[in-house]
Amino acid sequence: MKSKVKALLLIILLLVLVAVAGCDKPADQPVAQPADTAGVVQEQQQKAGAPVGETQKIIVYRATKDAKNLVPETHVVPKTNHPAKDAVELLLTDSKTTDAFSVLPVGTKLKGLSVKDGIAYVDFNDKLTKNSGGGSADEILIVAAIVDTLTEFPDIEKVQIMVEGKKVDTLTGHLDVSEPLSRSERIIKKSL
């Protein structure tokens, strides 16, 4: 009888410990959701009528924990007819690792992407500028993540960042984005 009581008390104690351990994050902080990279691209694959079952490798760039560099993050996702668009959609999701993070501001959405004469014209909603941290380091990482991700594709040499269908001079006041931008290798850290 005593062993049953001890076992019951031990189970109750473990349940209390588990419940308390799960309460260490304040309620007002958003909980990061894992990136559903395959789900995002698979939905696009179905809409585009791309071959089902085939995959493609896409590299997106995330910021390092110290927010000083970008690191490549490779995704193997269902193949679609619009891999550059898929790459930007992946860039908008959370990182699949805890060693890096997405730098695009919360609420940023891709409105459109087209490529002409080696230049990708990528259009975002106004959250790209309105929800940014505002510092020069943030702006450099955001711009470099977008440009370096898109210039992974051989048909894209430069990237013109647009907001709400219009060219903008800057995202947060520190970096000129009024003209198409080239890839920046210096900001890329080859390994974590």
Number of H helices, E strands in the chain: 5, 8
What was the pLDDT predicted at 42? 57
Q: Is the pTM of this model over 0.85?
A: no
Question: Which contiguous run of DSSP H or E holds residue 114?
Answer: strand 110-116
CA 68 to CA 65: how far, in whole Å?
8
How many Cβ atoms sit within 10 Å of the Cβ of residue 157? 16
What was the pLDDT predicted at 34? 40
- Sole residue written with tokens 């995202």: 171
pLDDT over 90 (residue 25):
no
What was the pLDDT predicted at 27? 33
Residue 161: pLDDT band by 50, 70, 90 thresholds?
very high
Kindly report, residue by residue over 126-152, the tens digit of the pLDDT.
Answer: 999 999 887 899 999 999 999 999 999
